[in-house]
Amino acid sequence: MTVSLARAHGTPCPTAVLDARTLPASEPELLARLTELRSALADHGAADVLKNALVQPSRHPLFDLDYRFVQSMPDRLDSFDLRGSCGHSILAAVEAAARTGMIQPLVAGCRVRVNVLNNGDNVVCEAEETSDGGTRFTAHFLCSPPRPVDELLITGEPVTGIRFDGRTVPVSLVSMGNPYLFVNAAELGVRTIGELFADDPALFDRMTRLRLAVCRAQGWDTTGAFPKVAALLPDGPGALAVRAISVPSWHPTVALTGATCLAAGAAVEGTIPHLLSGAADQPENGMLALRTPGATVRASARTTGGPHDRRLAWISVAEKQVDYRGHFLAAPTSQELSWLPQTA
């Protein structure tokens, strides 16, 4: 089993990138191998690596890579969530694939087309700048053909009322890259951006419980990683302050798929991202600035059609830096991993 580590800036942890061609096809055998990997990572002081990217040259003529994401859950070494995706791990997988010779080396301006097997997403990773230690990307999430924006709404409505703590809390449930629930942070008692960005256990608890309330209301599994949750406040025209939860703690910034979902949601009239960002007063296809505790992320949604027939063509998120941490070989034994640094 070949393992590489790469980490996108502003993410909770590195991604373990594995060559899918060396892994079993059956899910039980695959998860057993991933459990072995997690045990070995923990033994080597890397128990925080909770993201796994399984990648191989694509069998599809329109793509360069087939990619599958597996989220390691923190409760047990053999606990995983195979639903959903991770945009930052897509970039990490592209970086590792290029460093290990699976695809061509990255140069400024080149584009790598990724087929996301988890959910059918088409992602183009464009290299902005390359260096010995990593690559800065723009990620483009494509809809081909362009998708009616109403189809991005999980419940079919821009706002859905959820019973929570004895009252009804309005949330927007949006799916683009991953399913997300967005809530006005004021509904959770947060009045300022300073309060939103504070390391507040009570806010973390309220957001976690709200996510569980949404799962129960929609009949979804409450033990997995999805949907993700983010609380929002307005931050000026075309801008939002965003506080998101990852697995198992606060996200230092916002997930790449979270930025994608926010840009998509802001393009749909009446959603919480649309209302709080003042999107109705901004130019169509303008840039959405997402201020987070760790960085400001900028995303743009390209839409077509008129007010009653708007369709999403693609979403772009720029200036995403990925650092390559190293390429290792795992011993074939099922008992341990022998870490042998390799040159990229």
2-148+322-329 and 149-307 share one fold: yes
Q: What is the pLDDT of residue 45?
A: 87
Phi then psi for residue 26, to 5 deg, are -75, 140
* Entry pTM: 0.91
User: Taking the domains of the chain in order of start, what are their residue ranges?
Assistant: 2-148+322-329, 149-307
Amino acid at 341: P
For 149-307, CATH number? 3.10.310.10
The arrangement of secondary structure in 2-148+322-329, i.e. its CATH architecture, is: Roll (3.10)
Contact 149, 264 (CB under 8 A): yes
Q: Quick check: helix, strand or coil at residue 66? A: strand
Tens of pLDDT, residues 106-164:
999 999 999 999 999 999 999 999 999 999 999 999 999 999 999 999 999 999 999 99
Q: What is the pLDDT of residue 338?
A: 39
Residues 6+ apart with CB under 8 A from 152: 174, 175, 176, 264, 265, 268, 312
Under DSSP, is residue 101 helix (H, G, I), strand (E, B) or coil? coil
Q: Where are the beta strands (DSSP E) in the chain?
A: 2-8, 15-19, 51-57, 65-72, 80-81, 111-116, 122-130, 134-148, 160-164, 167-175, 179-184, 228-234, 239-245, 287-291, 296-304, 311-329
- Give residue 307's pLDDT: 76
Contact 150, 169 (CB under 8 A): no
Question: Residue 341 — pLDDT band, cuts 50, 70, 90?
Answer: very low
